[in-house]
Amino acid sequence: MREMLLPAAIERLVEGKPYSVDDIGKSGSQIRIYEDYVLKIEKFRAEREDTVRVMRWLEGKLPVPKVLAYEAEAEYQYTLMSRVTGKVLCDEYYLEHPKELLALAAEALRMLWNVDVKDCPRMRDLDTELREAKYRVEQGLVDISDAEPTTFGPDGFADPEALLAWLEENRPTPEPVLSHGDFCLPNILVEDGKICGFIDLGDTGIADKWRDISLCYRSLKHNFDGTFGGKVYPDFDPDMLFDALGIEPNWEKLNYYILLDELF
pLDDT given for residue 48 in this prediction: 86
pLDDT average, residue stretch 198-227: 97
Q: Percent of the chain beyond pLDDT 70?
A: 96
pLDDT value at 22 more than 90 = no
How many residues are there in the chain?
Answer: 264
2 within a domain of the structure (yes/no): no
159-205: pLDDT as tens digits: 999 999 999 999 999 999 999 999 999 999 999 999 999 999 999 99
Same domain membership, residue 129 and residue 240? yes
Has residue 27 got a pLDDT over 60?
Answer: no
pLDDT at 3: 60
pLDDT at 9 over 60: yes
| CATH code, 255 | 3.90.1200.10
Is the confidence at residue 24, as pLDDT, over 80?
no
Q: Examine the domain organization and report whether 130 and 20 are in the same domain.
A: no
| pLDDT for 28 | 60
Same domain, 209 and 114: yes
**Which residues share a beta bridge with 81?**
38, 67
Backbone CA torsion sign across 53, 58, 64, 66: positive
> What is the mean predicted confidence (pLDDT) over 113-118?
97
CB 178 within 8 A of CB 202: no
pLDDT digits (tens, 9 = 90+) for 120-172: 999 999 999 999 999 999 999 999 999 999 999 999 999 999 999 999 999 99
| Residue 25, pLDDT above cutoff 50 | no
Looking at the predicted structure, is the pLDDT value of residue 115 above 70? yes
Query: Is residue 182 annotated as a catalytic residue, yes or no?
Result: yes
> Does one domain contain both 15 and 135?
no
Distances (CA, A) of 81 to 32, 48, 64, 121: 10, 14, 9, 19
Question: 243 and 114 share a domain?
Answer: yes
pLDDT at 215 over 60: yes
Question: Are both 124 and 218 inside the same structural domain?
Answer: yes
Is 92 found in the same domain as 73?
A: no
In this structure, is residue 1 part of a structural domain?
A: no
Asked whether the beta carbons of 145 and 163 are under 8 A apart, the reply is no
The residue segments making up the domain with residue 163 are 87-261
Total domain count, the chain: 2
**Mean pLDDT for the stretch of residues 16-28:** 74
Residues 143 and 179 in one domain: yes
Same domain, 17 and 61: yes
User: Do 19 and 99 sit in the same domain of this protein?
Assistant: no
Q: Which of 82, 112, 129 is the last residue of a domain?
A: 82
Among 23, 36, 155, 182, which one carries the catalytic annotation?
A: 182
pLDDT at 26: 47
Q: What is the pLDDT of residues 35-84, one digit of tens each?
A: 999 999 998 888 889 999 999 999 999 999 999 999 998 889 999 999 99
Q: How confident is the model at residue 1 (pLDDT cuts 50, 70, 90)?
A: very low
- The CATH number linked to 47 is 3.30.200.20
195 assigned to some structural domain: yes
> Do both 144 and 74 map to the same domain?
no
Contacts of 150 (CB under 8 A, 6+ apart): 156
Q: Which residues have CB under 8 Å from 146's CB, separation 6+? A: none
Pick from 246, 223, 201, 207: nearest CA to 38: 201
Mean pLDDT, rounded, of the chain: 94
Question: For residue range 79-100, what is the model confidence (pLDDT) as tens digits?
Answer: 999 999 999 999 999 999 999 9
> For 22-26, 218-222, 234-238, 258-262, which range has the lowest pLDDT when averaged over its residues?
22-26
